[in-house]
Amino acid sequence: MVDWKEREHEDVDTQAMNDPNLLEALRACGLLKFFLTLGMWAQPELPWYLISFWDINREIFVIGD
């Protein structure tokens, strides 16, 4: 279960933006643009929607069949 808490992650975001290894990892898996989209965090339904595609056992996003 993921517990969404708005504005409790600003320090972590700032730290992440200064970590070249993390930015490269986000870029490699196609999530860098998602991370940089500030308006995304103002719409909690969208991150919940994306999280719903994550298969915790296979550690992949499953979209469709």
**Residue 1 located in a structural domain:** no
Tell me what pLDDT residue 12 has. Answer: 73
* Cα-based torsion angle of the residue sequence 48, 53, 56, 57 in order, rounded to the nearest 10 degrees: 170
Confidence of residue 32 (pLDDT cuts 50, 70, 90): confident
The angle at the Cα of 57, spanning 51 to 60, to the nearest 5 degrees, equals: 50
Please indicate, yes or no, if residue 53 is contained in any of the structural domains: yes
- Please report whether residue 5 resides in a domain: no
24 located within any domain: yes
Higher pLDDT, 60 or 65: 60
Please give the residue range of the domain that contains residue 41: 10-61
Question: Quick one: CA torsion of 19, 28, 48, 58, rounded to 10 degrees?
Answer: -120
pLDDT digits (tens, 9 = 90+) for 43-62: 667 777 888 888 888 888 88
Question: Does the pTM of the predicted model rise above 0.75?
Answer: no
Residue 9 above 70 pLDDT?
no
Count: domains in the chain: 1
Q: What is the mean pLDDT of the chain?
A: 76
